[in-house]
Structure 1
Amino acid sequence: MAKKTSGDKAPAAVVLDADLRIGAAPALRDILLTALASGKPVQIDGAGVTHVDTAGLQLLAAFSRDARARDLAPVWLAASDSLHKGVATLGLHELIELPARAGVN
Structure 2
Amino acid sequence: MKVILMYASAPREVHETALTVAEGCTVRTALEQAGWLQRFPEIQSESLAFGVWGRKAGWDRELRDDDRVEVLRGLRVDPKVARRERFVGQGARATGLFARRRPGSKAGY
Shorter chain as normaliser: what TM range?
under 0.3
Tell which structure's C-alpha radius of gyration is larger. 2
Larger relative strand fraction? 2
Q: TM-score with structure 1 length normalisation?
A: 0.25
TM-score (norm 2): 0.24
Instruction: Judging by fraction of residues, say which structure has more helix.
Output: 1
